[in-house]
């Protein structure tokens, strides 16, 4: 078999996952896109292992290890997403800006500040012109 077929499939799968990570809003969907990227890497590892005929089978061993780490990653990631959902009432990665520099996000530790967070998300230029120094609010 031509090596280009699995390599190109892995590249395209990785880029599909990249698009999903960047474009999705729900955190669980972001995790699913990460799984797609990990699977692209696995396909590469298997294809190159079969091509190189390594006596240690390093590619397949690393594939098994990657699958294990992916299982650990999805478990921990979903636990964190669940905790964030319980704390803030949303799993939207766009609305989780607790760590950003704007004043609304800094005082938005309680769940009832969803409104101010949403307005900060919708109109960053307006919040930047309020009482926050210019440039700090637009960074987040």
Partner 1 sequence: MTGTLSSQGHSFLTPGGVEIVFVLVGLAVLGAALLTVTTRQLVHAALWLVVALGGLAIEYLLLTAEFIAWVQVLIYLGSVVVLVLFGLMLTKAPIGASPDADSGNRWVALGVAVVAAATLVTLVVDAFRCTWIDLTAGGGSTRADGTMLFRYWVLPFEALSVLLLAALVGAVVISRRHREER
Taking CB under 8 A as the criterion, which residues in 71-130 touch partner 1?
A: 71-76, 78-83, 85-87, 91-94
User: What letter does residue 134 receive in the DSSP assignment?
Assistant: T
Distance CA 61, CA 2 (A): 23
Distance CA 77, CA 28 (A): 9
CB of 99 to partner 1, least distance (A): 17
What 3-state DSSP class applies to 109? coil
Nearer to partner 1, 22 or 99 (CB): 22
| Total residues binding partner 1 (CB under 8 A) | 73
CB of 140 to partner 1, least distance (A): 14
Can you say whether residue 135 is alpha, beta or left, with left for phi > 0 and alpha for psi between -120 and 50 degrees? Answer: left
Decide: is 57 part of the binding site for partner 1 (CB under 8 A): yes
Structure tokens at 14: 């990785």
On whether the CB atoms of residues 128 and 137 are closer than 8 A, the answer is yes
CB of 81 to partner 1, least distance (A): 6
Nearer to partner 1, 26 or 113 (CB): 26
Per-residue mark of binding to partner 1, 22-51 (x: CB under 8 A)? xxxxxxxx-xxx-xx--x--xx--xx-xxx
């Amino acid at each position: 078999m031509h090596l280009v077929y699995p390599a190109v499939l892995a590249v395209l799968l990785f880029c599909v996952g990249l698009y999903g990570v960047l474009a999705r809003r729900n955190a669980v969907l972001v995790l699913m896109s990460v799984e797609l990227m990990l699977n692209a890497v696995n396909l590469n590892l298997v294809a190159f292992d079969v091509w190189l005929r390594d006596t240690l089978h390093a590619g397949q061993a690393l594939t098994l290890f990657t699958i294990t780490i992916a299982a650990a990653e999805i478990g921990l990631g979903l636990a964190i997403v669940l905790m964030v959902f319980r704390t803030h009432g949303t799993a939207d990665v766009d609305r989780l800006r607790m760590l950003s520099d704007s004043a609304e996000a800094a005082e938005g530790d309680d769940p009832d500040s969803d409104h101010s967070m949403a307005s900060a998300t919708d109109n960053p230029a307006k919040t930047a012109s309020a009482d926050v120094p210019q440039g700090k609010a637009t960074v987040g």
